[in-house]
Structure 1
Amino acid sequence: MDNQDVKILFKFFSNVLDEWTVETMWAETINAEKGLYKLSNIPFYASVSCDDIVFAEYDQDEERLVYRKTIEHSGNSTIQVVVVNKEIPANDLREVFNDFGCESEKFNEGYFVIEIPAKVDYTPIRQKLIELEEQEIIYYSEPNLSNNHFYE
């Protein structure tokens, strides 16, 4: 194993932003020769999750590693949250989900992402998301919901 941290560029259409965008993510090198990397942080927009193993290769035009495909899903899920009630601080909302055992990363006061670990039951978390959305506190989306967290 190489265990070297690298940045990988993701290029994709964001439904949240409604435009083509780019995002870079940190990843641990699993096997540089084979282009295998394990994502180290929660994505703000890309439809992947922390700990996913991805294939990336060096792109001459971009002058960096560029994501090509996901090789192995971690089982973690990523939830995007837009704070619509500006009277409630994003950090207060993040703490609610932290109590469920979910880490999050804040982009700004109006937007953060939540990582749902593979072994955590998504049902009560989803109920809380629905409740907050019905109260017009947030809007949320599930850009990368793992098989562990599917619902009907």
Structure 2
Amino acid sequence: MDKSELVKIKTEYYSDVLEERTIETLWAKIHDLRKGLYQIDNIPFYGAPFACKDIIHAIVDEDGVLCFQKVIRASNHSILQIFVHQKNTLNSEIRDWFKDVNCSTEGVSENYFVVDVPMKIDYKKLQDSLKRKETEGIVEFAEALLSKKHKKDLKTSIFRKFLKS
């Protein structure tokens, strides 16, 4: 997509990563300009209350800046925050692994990036793999925003284990 078709949306929220209120601007596609609706087109870095592909409402503030107001329709995407702390593991290797499982990533720093987990992903399987990598000391991860669908993946998995026992 051509950047000229995108707008910047400003959002302000408390970030658990930064442990302070933060302002972040994200790219969005115009969904319905008349109604002030936009579709988020990149991955929030620090814990915004929405995910990639969500439809949000934004208004222009007194300085002429588009500002996030609320989520109108969730995309059922989830956002993960990944901290790579094993010295022998390259950030790019872990990011390539996410790409191989059909998730997109955006780098924030040498050892920190965020992941967009699309709705079609079986989140329980992804989480199990991440927990193994965490146990091995390769990464640490946080679930910045879990969609209803991915929460259901986790609950369904727990229920299946209960039925099998």
When normalised by structure 2's length, the TM-score is 0.85
Letter in 1 for 2:42: N
- The residue number in structure 2 matching 1:84 is 85
Residue 33 of structure 1 and its aligned partner are, at CA, apart by 2.1
In the TM superposition, residue 47 of structure 1 has moved relative to its aligned partner by 2.9
Structure 1 gap ranges (5+): none
User: Post-superposition, which runs of at least 4 consecutive aligned residues in structure 1 deviate over 3 A?
Assistant: none
How many residues of Structure 1 are paired with residues of Structure 2 in the alignment?
A: 149
1:24 corresponds to 2:51 = no
Cα RMSD, aligned residues only? 1.4
Report the counterpart of residue 107 of structure 1 in structure 2. 108
**1:93-150 CA-partner distances (Å, limit 9, x unpaired):** 0111111111111111111111111111112210111111111221111111111111
Structure (1 or 2) with the greater strand fraction: 1
Contact conserved, 1:97 with 1:125, CA < 8 A, in 2? no
Q: What is the aligned partner in structure 1 of residue 126 from structure 2? A: 125
User: Aligned partners of 1:140 and 1:59: how far apart in 2?
Assistant: 35
Q: How does 1:1-152 map to 2 (within 5 A)?
A: 4-45=5-46, 46-61=48-63, 63-150=64-151, 151-152=154-155
The CA distance in 2 between the partners of 1:92 and 1:129, in whole Å, is 14
Query: What TM-score do you get using the length of structure 1 for normalisation?
Result: 0.92
CA distance in 2, matches of 1:32, 1:41: 19
Larger radius of gyration: 2
Structure 1 residue aligned with 2:160: none
What are the ranges of 5 or more consecutive residues in structure 2 without an aligned counterpart? 156-165
Distance 1:34 1:47 in 2: 20
- The whole-number CA distance in structure 2 between the counterparts of 1:51 and 1:33 is 19
